[in-house]
Amino acid sequence: MNTFSGNLRRDLEVRRYPILVYAMTPLAALVLQAWLPRILGGFAWFDLPLVVTVYFALVQRIPIQGTLMGAGMGLFEDALTSHAIGVNGIAKTVVGFLASSIGTRIDVENHTIRLALTFLLSLLSSATYVFVYRGLLGINQQWTWFVDIFKAVGSTLIAAALFPALDRLQIRE
C-alpha cells in the first residue's frame, strides 16, 4: 500500500535538475536514436526518446510538462522519418501525459515500478502508433508485434541503466 500511495510530502515532491540536463538529455536521446541504428543495424530495438520522456514525466509529476515533452520528442522523431509528422507525436503525447499522471499517484522512487511502467508505456506507444496509422489515417502498414515486444524490452533495459544515472544529476537541497 505504501508503494502505491506514498506519503504526501513525497507525492508532491518535484525533482529539479540543472538546465543543461533538461536540454542535453533529450537532444542526446534523439541524436543517439538516429545514429545508433547505423552501427547496430537491424538490432536497434529500443526507443531512447521514450525512455527519456517517461523518466522526466515520472519525476516531474506535472502532466502538462509531460504532455508537452512527449509531444516535442514525438514530433522530432517524426520529422526524421519519411512518415507523416504527428504519428509518433500523438503516441508520445499520450505516454508523457500518462507517465506524469501516474507519477502523482505512485511511488516513483521504486526502481522496479519505474521499469515496469517503461515497459508498459513502450507497448502503449507502439499500439498507439499502429492505431493512428491504421485507424485514424487508414494507411495499410504492415506491422509485426514481436519487434515491438523486443523494443519494449530493450527500452526497459536501457532505462535500468539510465534512470539511476539521471537520478544522480538531480539538484539536492
Partner 1 sequence: MESFFIRYRNLLVLLVILLAQIIGLAVQVRHTGAGRNSLDPGDGAGVRLIRLWADAVVTPPEQAIHSTKLGVEYVWQNYIDLRHTQSENQELKRTIDRLRLEQAELLEDALQGQRLQALAAFQQKYIYKTVAAQAVGSSGSDQSRVFYLDKGSADGLQRDMAVITADGIVGKVRDVFPHSAQVLAINDQTSGAGVILATTRLRGILRGNAIGQPQIVGILADQRIQPGEKVLTAGGDLIFPRGLPVGVVDKTVRDPNPDKDGFIDVIVKPAAHLDQLDEVLVITSTEPRFSEEQQQDLATSEAVKGAEAAAIAEQKKASAIMAERLPGLIDPNLPPEKQPLLETTNPDPVIRPPQALHPDRFTPGGAAPPKAAETPTAEPQSSRESSPESSPAPPAAPKRNPQP
Site for partner 1 contains 154 (CB under 8 A) = no
By CB under 8 A, tell whether 24 contacts partner 1.
Answer: no
Q: Which one of 64, 105, 111, 135 is in contact with partner 1 (CB under 8 A)?
A: 64
Of 88, 122, 155, 156, the one binding partner 1 by CB under 8 A = 88
CB of 114 to partner 1, least distance (A): 21
Question: In the range 118-137, which residues lie near partner 1 by CB under 8 A?
Answer: 129, 132, 136-137
Return the C-alpha cell found at 75: 514530433
- Helix, strand or coil for residue 87? helix
CA distances from 67 to 56, 88, 115, 130, 137 (A): 11, 13, 20, 20, 22
How far is 56 from 66, CA to CA, in rounded Å? Answer: 7
Work out whether 13 is an interface residue with partner 1 (CB under 8 A): no
Residue 152 in contact with partner 1, rule: CB under 8 A:
no
Nearest approach in angstroms of CB 140 to partner 1 is 6
Q: Is 42 in the site for partner 1 (CB under 8 A)?
A: yes
- Do 86 and 78 contact (CB within 8 A), yes or no? yes
CB of 63 to partner 1, least distance (A): 4
Q: Which burial class, exposed, middle or buried, applies to 87 when counting CB atoms under 10 A from its CB (0-12, 13-18, 19+)?
A: buried
23, 27, 116, 169: residue in contact with partner 1 (rule CB under 8 A): 27
Stretch that binds partner 1, among 11-19, 35-43, 110-118, 160-168 (CB under 8 A): 35-43
Q: Are 159 and 51 in contact (CB under 8 A)?
A: yes
Residue 113 to residues 99, 119, 124, 148, 149: CA-CA distances in angstroms? Answer: 12, 10, 16, 20, 18
In this structure, the number of other CB atoms found within 10 A of the CB of residue 107 comes to: 16
Residue ranges that bind partner 1, judged by CB under 8 A: 27, 30-31, 33-39, 41-42, 44-45, 49, 63-64, 67-68, 71, 75-77, 79-90, 93-94, 97, 101, 129, 132, 136-144, 147, 151
